[in-house]
Chains A and B, each alone.
Chain A
Amino acid sequence: MMTTVITPLREERVEPPAARRRGLRRQTRRAWLGVAYASPTAVMVVLFFLVPLALVGWMSLHRWPLLAPPTLNAPDNFTGIGDNDLVRSATWFTIKYTVIITVLLFTVSLGLALLVQHRRRGVGFFRTAFFLPMAVGFASASLLFLGLLSDEIGPVSDLLRKVGLIDGYVSWTSGSANSALGSAVVLVLWRFAGFNMLILLTGLQAIPPEIYEAARVDGASRWQTFRRITLPLLRPTIALVLTLMVTGSLLAFDQFWILTRGGPDNSTTSLVMVIYREAFIRLDLGSAAAISVVLLVVLVAFNVIQLGVLRRRSN
């Protein structure tokens, strides 16, 4: 990702010796101008990114109550992670959720992308319809589903009762661990499938049509074409989409905080919810920072590995 975006510096023109001094002065002046233009970025990045990054590491080594001075207690915050039952269950839940979402969301997104791949009648409308949930903020979408799945005003239970699939009262978002997880999964599929479809679509459209034509001439079946041409050539895009899905799922918060409240019985409490709890309910910022650091290291490592794979494939 990163190496592809850095374009080589432009070759400076070879100037005659007489003009060199003037040119050099101009170059210095332009360098200073560049520094001046870049300075707001530098200030923002240092103050609000690098400093907090270092600070979260520093905090993780301290007992850091919300309202009292911090004291060094390394490595208690880290060893405490292992003893914390909620952290353990949240870790397992977050991993389980990540696997489920990645598989389902990828399948749905790719299916949608293949469906709207070609210019046909209604394709613009379909693309817009699939992408439109993205316009609703994630927190708003979670609230939307809270009402949609509620027994009070939501149509889902009524509809399923009429069809005969369920009887009686079902509390989708808090009734059982499975239904709460299922509710969140459906919400995420609805909200994010169109977004991932769009990325996959750009990948699909980058495949030269001649290759498909050649395959057709050779008498390849649809399935063969998909397996032998589409999937391999789509690989960099697939890697990108999978990275986004895994990263997003490991950081899940809104959908569980709002839709299931982490329940029932903490069965849908994600890792980021635990970080919030440690910091602002148990008022132990040091412990929250330690969990953050572990999560951060895992995610950065994951991203670096993904990047390596991506780069090798695209070269």
Chain B
Amino acid sequence: MLNRSRLGYSVTGAALAILFLFPLLWSGWASVRTGSGFGLENYDRLFTSDNGVSLRNVVNSVVVSGLTVAGTLLVATFGGYAFGRFRFPGRDVLFLVTLAILMVPYATILIALYVLLGWIGLEDSLIGLSLVLIMFQLPFSIFMMRNSFEAVPRELEESAQMDGCASFGTLVRIMLPAVRPGLITVGLFAFLTSWSEFFAPLILLNSTDKFTTTLAVVNMRTASHGSIDYAALEAGVVFMAVPCLILFAFMQRSYVRGFTSGAIKG
């Protein structure tokens, strides 16, 4: 009886695992399969065809992701430190409003963000897009960083201040190393979100030379009036997914832990 249930578990698990992994493996295979065998022709077409992906698109993606990760880390570290360690008027209100971002679906305010970015001269700009992406990262990131700072023993900070360490120095030298796991999780999330985000760039970017890689690859499908170059499309999918998969492989532990700790509390 026990053995049969164990066998059932293994067979079911393995069958499902194959089902879940199959699309990933297939896209990798389809991206290198060519008419005559295997090769990188599909990637070649992805990067050289007229409405394919240009180096510019890849650079744009790197810039947007870099700005989003850096900006999120900066704002969330300061914010998390403030919420976790200081008392000041308006603290609880600001924290609540930040969390309220979670309740407001971003698709419903993107139209307004589009107009707003136009007003402040950031229409069709990678910086404007990054600022919007940072804002959507804030509830999770600030919540995460606040909890991280709160978990640091108070004595650590106090002894540093006794030694004459000014507050900013305390933050950089004493607190930051102590909250490193939180920083890694926050940065990782910010990267994964900004790297693969589609809707926000679609609305906020107009000119093709500002397009991120995701937009450019989707555009290959949208712009093709005749037949779609599916093989090049799969090459694009693989190109987009590989950085995320590598990060996952390296950081799965902290990713899953960071996520689940947020999920339980949230």
Q: A residues near B, CB below 8 A? A: 1-2, 4-7, 9, 27, 30-42, 44-45, 47-53, 55-56, 59, 64, 112, 115-116, 120-123, 125-126, 128-133, 135-141, 143-148, 150, 152-155, 190, 193-194, 198-199, 201-202, 206, 240, 247, 250-251, 253-254, 258, 272, 275-276, 279-280, 285, 288-289, 292-293, 295-296, 299-300, 303-304
B107 and A146 contact, CB distance less than 8 A:
no
Within 8 A of A (CB), among B223-266: 227-228, 230-231, 233-234, 236-237, 240-241, 244-245, 247-248, 252, 256, 259-260, 263-266
- Chain A residues lying within 8 Å of B107, measured Cβ to Cβ, are 251, 253, 272, 275, 292, 295
Give the residue name and chain of the B residue nearest to A121 (CB): B10
B203 and A280 contact, CB distance less than 8 A:
yes
Partner of B20, one of A6, A7, A64, A129: A129
B221 and A143 contact, CB distance less than 8 A:
yes
Partner of B87, one of A9, A131, A138, A258: A9
Give the residue name and chain of the B residue nearest to A222 (CB): B5
A115 and B13 contact, CB distance less than 8 A:
yes
Partner of B264, one of A137, A202, A285: A202
**How many angstroms between the C-alpha atoms of A194 and B6 in the bound complex?**
22
Most buried by B among A4, A33, A201: A33
Check if B196 is an interface residue, CB within 8 A of chain A. yes
**How many angstroms between the C-alpha atoms of A272 and B21 in the bound complex?**
30
- Chain A residues lying within 8 Å of B230, measured Cβ to Cβ, are 146-147, 150, 152-154
**How many angstroms between the C-alpha atoms of A13 and B238 in the bound complex?**
57
B248 and A126 contact, CB distance less than 8 A:
no
A37 and B79 contact, CB distance less than 8 A:
yes
A147 and B103 contact, CB distance less than 8 A:
no
A128 and B82 contact, CB distance less than 8 A:
no
Give the residue name and chain of the A residue nearest to B234 (CB): A147
Assuming A49-B135, A126-B13, A292-B108, is B265 touching A253 (CB within 8 A)? no
- Chain A residues lying within 8 Å of B44, measured Cβ to Cβ, are none
**How many angstroms between the C-alpha atoms of A206 and B233 in the bound complex?**
43
Check if B78 is an interface residue, CB within 8 A of chain A. yes
- Chain B residues lying within 8 Å of A153, measured Cβ to Cβ, are 30, 33, 230-231, 234
A40 and B217 contact, CB distance less than 8 A:
no
Assuming A34-B91, A147-B30, is B218 touching A45 (CB within 8 A)? no
Assuming A59-B111, A145-B23, is B105 touching A37 (CB within 8 A)? no
**How many angstroms between the C-alpha atoms of A311 and B260 in the bound complex?**
19
Give the residue name and chain of the A residue nearest to B88 (CB): A34
B82 and A296 contact, CB distance less than 8 A:
no
- Chain A residues lying within 8 Å of B10, measured Cβ to Cβ, are 121-122
- Chain B residues lying within 8 Å of A143, measured Cβ to Cβ, are 217-218, 221, 233-234, 236-237
Give the residue name and chain of the B residue nearest to A297 (CB): B108
**How many angstroms between the C-alpha atoms of A31 and B234 in the bound complex?**
54
Return B27 CB to nearest CB of chain A, in Å. 5
A45 and B217 contact, CB distance less than 8 A:
no
Return B194 CB to nearest CB of chain A, in Å. 10
Check if B48 is an interface residue, CB within 8 A of chain A. no
- Chain A residues lying within 8 Å of B76, measured Cβ to Cβ, are 41
A132 and B21 contact, CB distance less than 8 A:
yes
A55 and B112 contact, CB distance less than 8 A:
yes
Query: Can you give 30 contacting A-B residue pairs, CB < 8 Å?
Result: A5-B99, A7-B150, A30-B87, A32-B88, A38-B82, A40-B79, A41-B75, A44-B138, A45-B135, A55-B116, A115-B9, A120-B6, A129-B20, A136-B237, A137-B196, A137-B244, A141-B237, A143-B217, A146-B233, A147-B231, A148-B23, A150-B228, A198-B256, A202-B263, A202-B264, A206-B264, A253-B199, A276-B202, A296-B108, A300-B103
Return B215 CB to nearest CB of chain A, in Å. 9
Check if B47 is an interface residue, CB within 8 A of chain A. no
A137 and B112 contact, CB distance less than 8 A:
no
Within 8 A of A (CB), among B46-76: 74-76
A38 and B91 contact, CB distance less than 8 A:
yes
Check if B156 is an interface residue, CB within 8 A of chain A. no
**How many angstroms between the C-alpha atoms of A253 and B214 in the bound complex?**
15
Assuming A35-B88, A135-B241, A143-B236, is B109 touching A52 (CB within 8 A)? yes
**How many angstroms between the C-alpha atoms of A153 and B234 in the bound complex?**
10
Assuming A135-B245, A251-B107, A280-B203, is B116 touching A52 (CB within 8 A)? yes
- Chain A residues lying within 8 Å of B172, measured Cβ to Cβ, are none
Give the residue name and chain of the B residue nearest to A108 (CB): B16
- Chain B residues lying within 8 Å of A1, measured Cβ to Cβ, are 99, 102, 266
Assuming A48-B132, A143-B233, A296-B105, is B91 touching A128 (CB within 8 A)? no
